[in-house]
Amino acid sequence: LLPGGMAEPRRSFAAAAIAVGGNAEIVVSGGTTLPIGQEGNGHAPHASAEALGLTGGGAVWRRLSPMAVPRAGHAAAALGGRIYFCGGSVGDAVGLATVECFDPAVEGPAAWTSSTPMNVGRSCPAAAVLSGRLYVLGGSRHWTRGTPAEQSAECFDPVTAHWDTAPMLLEPRFDFCVGVVWSGALVA
């Protein structure tokens, strides 16, 4: 365990690692403090964000400026020196299509910018980067358990700032992880 810990307890948050000036940071955003089983309508997500700076001398948490939209059940991935925080929900159980982009090279509220919204609102999706594109897969159009999971996927091209439909998942998935394997494939 790392000393200190996050300033705010949270679950259903998103996190991604990024290189910052020769060191690494893990940026954590959003989430909720409600106990498991109480998700759904009225779940009061956070807009807050924190970063765990990993240096040769140790690890230190620091607060960041908050996101524009509080969200929980979202996904995050680093691409092109920025972290994209995708989807989630704001407490009304409806999956968001919005995307917020965090630039660690910028200080204060200007570090957060809106990016092109996804084509589908997704709560609890997964995200990964492959071949210079951001893929967001699965999730659900609603936060609550028991709602149908999405089988769809989409990919974002940062050069054109456009989302395209990606090949569908073999099975619908919700609240899961995705990774990139050495052969250059996404595995969920």
Say what the pLDDT of residue 1 is.
44
User: What is the per-residue pLDDT across 116-130, written as a single tens digit (0 to 9) for each?
Assistant: 999 999 999 999 999
- What CA–CA distances, in Å, run from 107 to 7, 64, 79? 19, 8, 19
User: What is the per-residue pLDDT across 50-109, written as a single tens digit (0 to 9) for each?
Assistant: 999 987 777 889 999 999 999 999 999 999 999 999 999 987 678 999 999 999 999 999
- Architecture per CATH, domain 14-187, reads as 6 Propeller (2.120)
Say what the pLDDT of residue 34 is.
66
Write the CB contacts of 24 (distance below 8 Å, at least 6 apart in sequence): 17, 18, 53, 54
Instruction: Say how far apart CA 18 and CA 63 lie, in whole Å.
Output: 16
Among 57, 140, 36, 128, residue whose Cα is nearest residue 93: 140
Does residue 36 carry a pLDDT above 60? no
Instruction: Say how far apart CA 64 and CA 111 lie, in whole Å.
Output: 9
Mean pLDDT of 171-185: 90
Say what the pLDDT of residue 43 is.
60
DSSP 150: B
For residue 111, report the phi and psi dihedrals to the nearest 5 degrees. -65, -25
Domain boundaries, the chain: 14-187
Judged by DSSP in three states, 81 sits in coil
